[in-house]
Amino acid sequence: MSMRFAGRYQEIRRLGQGGMGEVLLVLDLASGTECALKHLTGDVRPALISALRSEFDVLARLTHPALVRVRDLGFTAEGTPFLTMDYVPGLPADQALEPQHRPSLFWFAARLARGLEALHRAGIVHGDLKPANVLVMPAARPGESPHDLRIVDLGLSVMRGHAHMPFAGTPGYAAPELMAGDAPSVASDLYAFGALLHALLTGAPVLAARPTSSHTEGAAGARTKTSALENSGAPAALIRLVLQLLSANPAERPADATEVAQELEAMHPAARTPLADRVEAETFIGRERELSRISLAATYDRGRAFLVTGPPGVGRSTLLRQAALRATSASRVVLVAQAQGAARGGAVISLLRGLIAALGNAAPTIPAAAAAILNGAAHTLPENAEDALLDALPRWIALLAARRGTPVFVVDDADQLEDASRLWLRRALVRTAGVRVVWVWAMRTLEGTSEATLVAGGNAEHLPLEPFAGEDLARFITARLGAEPPASLRPWLAERAGGSPVAIVQALRAALAAGAIAEEAGLLHAEPERLA
């Protein structure tokens, strides 16, 4: 019998089994899309729960083409957490790649190096890199490089400098110092990267090195690695790089993943990662103050509401997503009011179904007028059910807050909702001011809207988002390019994009496509004529 999680995710089939639990392909009943769901099985120890939370936190911090995109951290009726993320229709690297097809191998290695580069730049160390944790989406036609890859299973990842769990990596891929008890580091990730390449080239992992305090390695071990790589027929330059990555002494490995990527790019054309790919790496920058105010509101005893406004492209949806991710990471229930086409009250129905599912067995008796809506028998909001649902809402929220902490209700593009949902949600926001709940709405403007009365009456706080300027603009551009931008680029972007984050990214894409921005030896330079 297929399982359902939190009343929202319906199992389709199992994708895989691991040490922490299993991964399922599920249907998100709220959005109608498929995604992957990882849940813990067997003896659910605190360390496993911590690892699952760590994976969510890492993926919530960073969006990059080589990283799987996280969606939600939910909880079963028994209180066990589960993680949902985008479904990646790929295979483990050692099953998807043909090492003798050199373009594919070099493309893979460079793409993986750039993914590690993004993780490390964000202060994150993977901790368990191996073929099974890199999913490769095969090419559409034989003889072509793979379509794409995703680094997955970041349960053992850590923030650099933070406390780490005892060694739990994979022998054959874990660096000697990691096995000896040292903290995971950029250097240990690079060793694992070299071990992964060694396994792809030779068909076997590196023989586990004996952990020693001096991180030394015998000559026999070094000769074994060299001989296996030479027998694989790999190019001499690639062999030298793999051996350097596998050095028992961390100081003798490359300095960082950027250096590795640049060496690979010099070896083969297929390894040259377009600078445009780095522009797609997304980190949350420039809205930290607004995010902190929303997060702090969850610690109050009474309800708080925020109306986030700003023109298209200014980052309203990004702020709401980060607020939801931060609340989820803190084990709070996050519910999203999603429009269901033109159905009357469709956004209300989606929010209430999620609320009842989150309450689980603790849900009180549902008013008869609302039962058909909440059990899926009705898809529109009858007028005679509106008041009954509104009367029950504060009690439901109070029960949920007592069990799981202050819930967060998110309403994106509120000005695009149909009238019945918009009116009911406004009434709900006012009605729940006395209970622990945080409402976060996003819309283009308050001017001339009924929502303006919520702010005027003290029921909501207005958070207007302005286009980026000054230091925030500089930080955003640098983060998107992954390097210090040329001096002529910032004023050009400020003039062309007007400080809109979306417009900045679009302008960078256009400039890269026109060859107006290029990279040489790790330094960026702009072509003024092409920019003009």
List the catalytic residues: 128
Is there a contact between 413 and 442 (Cβ–Cβ < 8 Å)?
yes
Q: Looking at 417-483, list the stretches that DSSP marks H as alpha helix, in order from N- to C-terminal side.
A: 419-431, 452-456, 470-481
**CA 107 – CA 93 distance, rounded (Å):** 12
Nearest-5° Cα angle at 513, 508 to 514: 100
Q: What is the DSSP letter of 67?
A: B
The pair of structure tokens assigned to 178 is: 């990691």
> Residue 85's beta-bridge partner residues?
36, 70
Q: Where are the beta strands (DSSP E) in 435-499?
A: 438-443, 461-464
464 contacts: CB under 8 Å, gap ≥ 6? 308, 309, 310
Q: In which order are the strands placed within the sheet that holds 9-17? A: 4-5, 9-17, 21-28, 33-40, 81-85, 70-75
| Per-residue exposure over 81-95, b if at least 16 CB sit within 10 Å of its own CB, e if not | bbbbbebbebbbbbe
> Residue 21's beta-bridge partner residues?
40
Is there a contact between 64 and 281 (Cβ–Cβ < 8 Å)?
yes
**CA 467 – CA 498 distance, rounded (Å):** 7
**CA 143 – CA 284 distance, rounded (Å):** 38
Is there a contact between 2 and 12 (Cβ–Cβ < 8 Å)?
yes
| Per-residue exposure over 304-324, b if at least 16 CB sit within 10 Å of its own CB, e if not | bbbbbbbeebbbbebbbbbbb
